[in-house]
């Protein structure tokens, strides 16, 4: 059953951002379409249930329509609390993202927002042996490498904004260029953060939620989760979530041997340090083109993001604060916006550190320009 969604942001007169310095030809401007895909996962009835993710989606939709010139018909919403909307399963989310990219034309403006749980899965392609991942409502994980592969198909001249309001969200697009990260301030916060639940799932919690989804017990280690994903979602499980070494420039034979050797490492204690700590080298892995997209994260890859419950409502600390900042300055650049959000979160007492990951050029463009 669906419940009423607080809509605490009054409708305002549309304020159009200034055109970027490199004006598009008039025919392209006339054909330009602003398209958005918004994902909200509250996981109703599950052990890891959240409360604020659907509210985040509806707040963001309102901002897009009222302040950024989006037409409601060009906004695709996937949420898991109302059967009128498509469910944000792993397969549906990847389908929506692939469709967004495949149908994009030069002159379009694209926007993606995800609000839900985040986790980390084992990977030999990362220096810390961990890949960041989104947690769809059916727990068919979407790894950062999946997102990289999808968005790398996009023409770099097409503006793309991605917001990930979840734990472990830093590095979610695998950009090399990071404009803003680290501790937002060494000062003591001036406020006390309201009650909140973090939006993180350990590999053990992922196994628990997968057990309920699939109807059988899933071993709470890396090997158990990988096997469950392969068997539970044989057609569309992420190859990066089911293999420790997917995406590495090595032979299939070596990949098979590495997966077998390292199979149970994640989720169990090991005396073997990650390659970076051991002074070893990790084989080079692909990155998303730094000119493709701007990523705003809820926190760094090692941190958690807050699902706040306060004043009779619930919301993501990042999403709510981002909406506040956009309302105050709709034409702020990405750099200005993230700087403002970090300052506001610090004042409110939140420990999470949002990041801005993109090229220098994109960082100083107006938000959704």
DSSP state of 86: B
- Quote the pTM value: 0.82
pLDDT at 36: 98
Segment 113-159, tens digit of pLDDT = 999 999 998 766 555 567 899 999 999 999 999 999 999 999 999 99
Confidence of residue 191 (pLDDT cuts 50, 70, 90): low
Confidence of residue 194 (pLDDT cuts 50, 70, 90): confident
Q: Which is the catalytic residue, given 113, 117, 175, 346?
A: 117
pLDDT at 240: 82
Question: What is the C-alpha to C-alpha distance for residues 256 and 242, in angstroms, rounded to an integer?
Answer: 12
Residue 55 has pLDDT above 70, yes or no: yes
Measure Cα distances from 78 to 35, 37, 39, 64, 82 in Å: 14, 8, 5, 16, 9
Using DSSP's 3-state secondary structure scheme, residue 65 falls into: helix
Residues 369 and 111 sit within 8 Å (Cβ to Cβ): no
Hey, which of 26-40, 177-191, 255-269 has the most confident mean pLDDT?
A: 26-40
Beta strand 160-165 with 294-297 is parallel
Confidence of residue 367 (pLDDT cuts 50, 70, 90): very high
Confidence of residue 198 (pLDDT cuts 50, 70, 90): confident
Q: Which is the catalytic residue, given 41, 53, 167, 358?
A: 167
Residues 211 and 47 sit within 8 Å (Cβ to Cβ): no
CA-based radius of gyration for the chain:
20
| Residue closest to 199 by CA, chosen among 312, 131, 120, 122 | 120
Average per-residue pLDDT in the chain? Answer: 83
pLDDT at 31: 64
Decide if 117 is catalytic. yes
Decide if 167 is catalytic. yes
Taking each helix axis from N to C end, the angle separating 317-328 and 53-67, rounded to the nearest 10 degrees, works out to 20
Residue 30 has pLDDT above 80, yes or no: no
């Amino acid at each position: 059953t669906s419940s009423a969604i607080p809509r605490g942001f009054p409708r305002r007169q549309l304020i159009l951002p200034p055109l970027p310095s490199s004006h598009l030809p008039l025919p392209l401007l006339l054909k330009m379409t602003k398209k958005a895909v918004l994902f909200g996962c509250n996981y109703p009835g599950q052990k890891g249930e959240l409360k604020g993710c659907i509210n985040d989606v509806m707040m963001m939709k309102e901002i897009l329509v009222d302040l950024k010139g989006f037409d409601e018909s060009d906004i695709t919403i996937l949420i898991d609390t109302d059967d009128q909307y498509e469910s944000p399963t792993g397969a549906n989310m990847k389908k929506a993202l692939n469709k967004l990219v495949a149908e994009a034309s030069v002159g379009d403006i694209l926007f993606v927002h995800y609000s839900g749980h985040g986790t980390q899965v084992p990977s030999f392609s990362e220096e810390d042996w961990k890949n960041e991942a989104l947690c769809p409502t059916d727990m068919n994980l979407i790894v950062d490498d999946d997102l990289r592969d999808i968005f790398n198909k996009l023409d770099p001249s097409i503006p793309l904004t991605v917001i990930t309001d979840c734990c472990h969200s830093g590095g979610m697009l695998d950009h090399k260029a990071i404009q803003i990260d680290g501790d937002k301030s060494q000062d003591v916060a001036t406020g006390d953060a309201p009650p909140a639940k973090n939006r993180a799932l350990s590999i053990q919690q992922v196994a628990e939620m997968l057990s309920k989804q699939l109807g059988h017990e899933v071993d709470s280690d890396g090997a158990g989760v990988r096997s469950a994903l392969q068997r539970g979602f044989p057609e569309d499980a992420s190859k990066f979530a089911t293999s420790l070494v997917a995406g590495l420039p090595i032979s299939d034979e070596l990949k098979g041997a590495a997966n077998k050797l390292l199979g149970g490492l994640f989720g169990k204690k090991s005396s073997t340090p990650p390659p970076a700590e051991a002074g070893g080298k990790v084989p080079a892995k692909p990155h998303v083109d730094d000119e493709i997209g701007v990523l705003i994260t809820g926190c760094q890859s090692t941190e958690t993001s807050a699902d706040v419950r306060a004043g009779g409502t619930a919301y993501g600390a990042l999403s709510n604060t981002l909406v506040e900042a956009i309302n105050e300055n709709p034409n702020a650049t990405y750099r200005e916006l993230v700087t403002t959000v970090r300052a506001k979160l610090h004042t409110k007492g939140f420990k999470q550190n949002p990041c801005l990951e993109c090229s220098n050029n994109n960082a100083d463009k107006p938000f959704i320009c």
